[in-house]
């Protein structure tokens, strides 16, 4: 609750924050338990997003998911697509911060979800918590630790019509380097308004100041969602 209050204050926007709480153990060693809890919660998140996006009094719906919450969010978005709720998905702007998702699982999720009206943003970094998660998962790579300097990652981002941003240059006081997205929230509004990449897919690196996105490869304009 304190974290979402901090984020809402730092962004200085007129958004009304809504916290979707799910029963995470909040421990790096509780990976299996968190995965079960996220699976249990995905229907409830899909219902919440449907309710928000269907309310005519609500404008844009921004979804920010962190760590294993990214897996939960992707599962909910996938369910909405399979249910034919395209109008709900078209209202959403999705940011996955350090998503703790197996790369192959994400590839399958995004294949079902397809391109969204606004390209999904994925924040990646040199994240120690995700390194631990990878070790616990038989060294399988995590989406939140993708290397944007890898041409294959750039190509995959363009093909999937998502926007991958490396935020490793931002300072963090967290020993696990797992909370850089919190600092980014204070800079996000001006970064979005000043950036020509706001609705482009591809791979980018955020500079140390936190206001400029430097593209890697060719950033492609995202098509309209289905």
Q: What is the 3-state secondary structure (H, E, C) of 122-188?
A: EEECCCHHHHHHHHHCCCCCEHHHCCCCCHHHHHHHHHHCEEEEECCCCCCCCCCCCCHHHHHHHHH
Question: Does residue 79 belong to any structural domain of this protein?
Answer: yes
> Helices 180-194 and 2-11, interaxial angle, to 10°?
20
The average pLDDT across 5-24 equals 76
Grouping H, G, I as helix, E, B as strand and the rest as coil, residue 3 is helix
Residue 106 to residue 154: CA distance in whole angstroms: 15
Q: Which long-range contacts (CB under 8 A, 24 or more apart) does 50-59 make?
A: 50/80, 50/85, 50/88, 52/18, 52/91, 53/87, 53/88, 53/89, 53/91, 53/92, 54/88
Question: Does residue 190 belong to any structural domain of this protein?
Answer: yes
Q: What are phi and psi of 164, to 5 degrees?
A: -105, 125
Task: Residue 200: give the domain boundaries.
Answer: 2-221
**Least confident window among 49-58, 129-138, 156-165:** 129-138
The answer, yes or no, to whether residue 114 has pLDDT greater than 90, is yes
Question: Does residue 188 belong to any structural domain of this protein?
Answer: yes
**Maximum average pLDDT range among 17-21, 27-31, 48-52, 60-64:** 48-52
Question: Does residue 226 belong to any structural domain of this protein?
Answer: no
The answer, yes or no, to whether residue 155 has pLDDT greater than 50, is yes
122 vs 170, more confident: 122
- Predicted TM-score (pTM) of the model is 0.81
Question: Does residue 70 belong to any structural domain of this protein?
Answer: yes
Average pLDDT, whole number, for the chain? 80
Q: What is the pLDDT of residue 6?
A: 67
> Helices 68-82 and 31-53, interaxial angle, to 10°?
50
pLDDT (tens digit, 9 = 90+) per residue, 41-51? 999 999 999 99
Number of domains into which the chain is organized: 1
Neighbours of 80 (CB within 10 A): 22
pLDDT (tens digit, 9 = 90+) per residue, 62-102? 998 988 899 999 999 999 999 999 999 999 999 999 899 99
The answer, yes or no, to whether residue 220 has pLDDT greater than 50, is no
Question: Does residue 181 belong to any structural domain of this protein?
Answer: yes
Provide the percentage of residues in the chain whose pLDDT is more than 70: 68
Q: What is the pLDDT of residue 224?
A: 34
Cβ atoms 183, 210 nearer than 8 A:
yes
pLDDT (tens digit, 9 = 90+) per residue, 188-218? 655 555 455 556 788 888 765 455 566 765 3
Q: What is the pLDDT of residue 134?
A: 73
Q: Which residues contact 79 (CB under 8 A, 6 or more apart)?
A: 42, 43, 46
């Amino acid at each position: 609750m304190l974290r979402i209050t901090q984020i809402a204050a730092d962004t200085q926007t007129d958004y009304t924050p809504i916290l979707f709480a799910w029963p995470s153990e909040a421990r790096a060693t509780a990976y299996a338990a968190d995965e079960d809890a996220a699976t249990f919660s995905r229907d409830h998140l899909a219902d919440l997003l449907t309710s928000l996006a269907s309310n005519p009094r609500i404008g844009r719906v921004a979804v920010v998911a962190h760590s294993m919450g990214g897996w939960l969010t992707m599962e909910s978005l996938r369910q909405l697509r399979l249910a034919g709720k395209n109008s709900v998905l078209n209202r959403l702007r999705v940011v996955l911060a350090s998503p703790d998702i197996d790369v192959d699982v994400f590839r399958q999720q995004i294949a079902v979800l397809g391109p969204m009206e606004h390209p999904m943003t994925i924040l990646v970094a040199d994240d120690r918590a995700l390194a631990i998660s990878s070790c616990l998962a038989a060294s399988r790579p995590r989406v939140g630790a993708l290397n944007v300097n890898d041409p294959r990652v750039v190509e995959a981002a363009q093909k999937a019509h998502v926007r991958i941003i490396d935020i490793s240059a931002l300072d963090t006081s967290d020993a696990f380097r797992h909370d850089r997205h919190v600092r980014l929230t204070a800079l996000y509004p001006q970064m979005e308004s000043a950036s020509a990449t706001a609705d482009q897919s591809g791979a980018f690196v955020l500079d140390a100041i936190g206001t400029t996105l430097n593209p890697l490869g060719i950033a492609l304009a995202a098509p309209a969602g289905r």
